[in-house]
Chain A
């Protein structure tokens, strides 16, 4: 499932807020620090969060990523191998028709992309996938 233009607008009207998190590498928080800050003391489960990403990036400078977690109040996206692992945190208000978001991120090299979703009851779920960034060429 990909987010079409219509869906994206609809999601936008539904009350989606996204905080993009630029920052200098010197101040970058690690995946562990970001996870602790996001999840607090909640234990991290699995299932219910779909993270859609290409297996191999067609262009590492703009990799399409989609997260979808029905019932979530917030979804945090991280790129574990980037100088600044924090990518974005999407928060969903009560009027949001769907708890999903699609964006494009830059990946410096082959790495794991990690998403965490905080549910209304405070529980946190995780999804993770490896996106390969390759030189290319030589395809058969």
Chain B
């Protein structure tokens, strides 16, 4: 009999037999531009367990453009490793033909022209079609949501997440974990959770006062005679990266020793398969997989990586399913004698023009949007530039936002948070109010204006940089670098905290930033309670209305070294 360890080695060497990713097959077809729904959904059933993973939808109910990152640097052991590989290198790593549908879905290269060829991606009505199709083949498939679901759109903000709750309930979600959900505040989260027909898992959510577990840590599902333990891991840095005052009752953290304890506990309860539904972020999960023993599958979220093949760490497989409803992962597993014996996986890209919308879900989405339709669809302006955010440093959306902040708030320097959500617009697209919300929507969006010394600015840049480029993944919070307007700087990502940032200067005059001097700074998404100012989306709307058409010059204010 093949041992578990031997199996994995065999799987690595000959993926066609024991472990397989469905990616290679359809990519060739896609390259010939013969995409069909049947090809996208084609999957040879395998084993006795099916997991369906979707994560980081960020409340995107409708198909969207989403450009994957151009710059996504890994440091330390992660340097050059998935997911820190982009563009043509990514294509070569996974055998993806340039110009193919996969190249469009998974990389930034030629984004604009490929977007026009292959169309928008995502849409929860298309996702519903995919989920129903998988369930038709595997009625006992388990649908798991990795969180960042209730936040990210104008409708989710206006309904306090209710539109997404209704949609995810209709989709038949069976467990979820959380991150931005918490920015609706404790009371709203508890109100929603009480009504959920599935568990809101968070093994690492503890009562802040007594340091005792506050939410269900796991649930054991019985499917096809297999006992599947799903342990939920919420975003560990919730009170640090987002406003703590919105959920003061709770403490989070990685709590690795607690995860090990729970894995041992569910194994002792007879779990045949242990799945971690995680919002740790890819590098944190990769480190955790190497240190916590006994997890078979980590369904990883938070850092928005779409990885077409499972990443193996010891006996654990990591599945990264992208963001914004662009992808759904199907993972078939052969579980026997309390062991995972093999897997077959496919990262299913949701091409909205290829996959037929599910009629029921489409009707539900339209009903959710109906009360706000006029507000959502009002055209504010037009863009002649490609507008995107994702990437370690300023995206063009951020440049536009920083321009708006500096102009509307009369500040020398603008700061905009390096969040990884935010959809894309193509040159020629109208900018609607909904589009502005897709890159700004949040419960703490007020645009403050203040004064900061040069020393303070340096401290902020160093602090945020260390949250991304600390070589120990457990110290990484999973966002991107804070975006700046009016400020130039150089960053050496290979250095430790305090030594990464240099050459800070005002862009307009070239004047070097003086540590002792004060500058006017405006920004948004402050984690401090009582922040004052207009909402950021109103600031941007006002700016775009004044300029009419957005035309951005290439931004050369950040110099990156140490790569």
Interface residues of A (CB under 8 A from B): 1-5, 52, 54-59, 64, 102, 110, 130, 132, 134-140
Contact = CB atoms under 8 A, between A and B. Distances in A.
A58 B244 contact: yes
A123 B348 CA distance: 58
A108 B477 CA distance: 21
A105 B210 CA distance: 15
A44 B411 CA distance: 55
B317 interface: no
Given A2-B212, A140-B480, A54 B244 contact: no
B252 A3 contact: no
B239 A59 contact: yes
Contact of A136 (B235, B258, B420, B527): B527
B211 A134 contact: no
B208 to A, nearest CB: 8
A139 B478 contact: yes
Nearest to A137: B527
Contacts of A64: 211, 251
Interface string B518-551: 0000000111000000000000000000000000
Contact of A56 (B240, B242, B304, B479): B240
B419 interface: yes
Query: Interface residues of B toward A: which range?
Result: 35 or more
B449 interface: no
A18 B419 CA distance: 44
A5 B213 CA distance: 12
B437 to A, nearest CB: 18
Given A2-B212, A137-B526, A139-B241, A56 B475 contact: yes
A52 B238 CA distance: 19
A138 B482 contact: yes
Contact of B239 (A58, A110, A138): A58
Most buried by A among B210, B467, B474: B467
A110 B252 CA distance: 19
Nearest to A5: B210
28 contacts: A2-B211, A3-B211, A4-B211, A54-B253, A55-B236, A55-B472, A55-B475, A56-B253, A58-B208, A58-B239, A58-B240, A58-B252, A102-B211, A110-B497, A130-B475, A135-B459, A135-B464, A136-B241, A137-B241, A137-B464, A138-B419, A138-B467, A139-B235, A139-B238, A139-B240, A139-B241, A140-B419, A140-B421
A134 B464 CA distance: 9
Contacts, number: 97
A136 B240 contact: yes
Nearest to A54: B253
Contacts of A58: 208, 239-240, 244, 251-253
Contacts of A139: 235, 237-238, 240-242, 419, 467, 477-479
B302 interface: yes
Nearest to B526: A137
A59 B250 CA distance: 12
Contacts of A2: 206, 211-212, 258
B417 interface: yes
Given A55-B253, A138-B241, A138-B418, 16 more contacts: A54-B253, A55-B474, A56-B240, A56-B253, A56-B475, A58-B253, A102-B211, A132-B475, A134-B467, A135-B463, A135-B464, A136-B240, A137-B482, A137-B526, A138-B417, A140-B477
B453 to A, nearest CB: 14
A49 to B, nearest CB: 14
Nearest to A131: B475
A117 to B, nearest CB: 18
Contacts of A52: 257
B240 A134 contact: yes
B525 A137 contact: yes
Interface of B: 206, 208, 210-212, 235-242, 244, 251-254, 257-258, 261, 281, 302-304, 417-421, 459-460, 463-464, 466-467, 472, 474-475, 477-480, 482, 497, 525-527
A4 B477 contact: no
A137 B210 contact: no
A2 B472 CA distance: 24
B257 A1 contact: yes
Contacts of A59: 239, 244
A7 B434 CA distance: 52
Contacts of B417: 137-138
A94 B372 CA distance: 69
A135 B244 contact: no
B204 to A, nearest CB: 11
A136 B254 CA distance: 16
Nearest to A140: B479
Given A2-B212, A5-B210, A140 B302 contact: yes
Contacts of B238: 139
Given A139-B237, A139-B419, A1 B253 contact: no
User: 5 smallest A-B Cβ distances: which pairs?
Assistant: A139-B241, A140-B479, A58-B239, A140-B420, A138-B417
Contacts of B480: 140
Nearest to B464: A138
Contact of B261 (A1, A138, A140): A1
Q: Taking each of A3, A130, A132, A139, which has the highest tally of chain B beta carbons within 10 Å of its own beta carbon? A: A139
A4 B421 CA distance: 37
Contacts of B477: 56, 138-140
B188 to A, nearest CB: 19
Contacts of B257: 1, 52
A55 B466 CA distance: 13
Contacts of B482: 137-138
A54 B211 CA distance: 12
Contacts of B304: 140
| Residue of B240, B244, B417, B478 ringed by the most chain A CB atoms within 10 A | B240
Contacts of A56: 237, 240, 253, 475, 477
Contacts of B418: 138, 140
A25 to B, nearest CB: 23
Contacts of B212: 2, 4-5
Nearest to A104: B211
Contacts of B254: 54-55
A21 to B, nearest CB: 23
Nearest to B250: A58
A4 B240 contact: no
Contacts of B281: 140
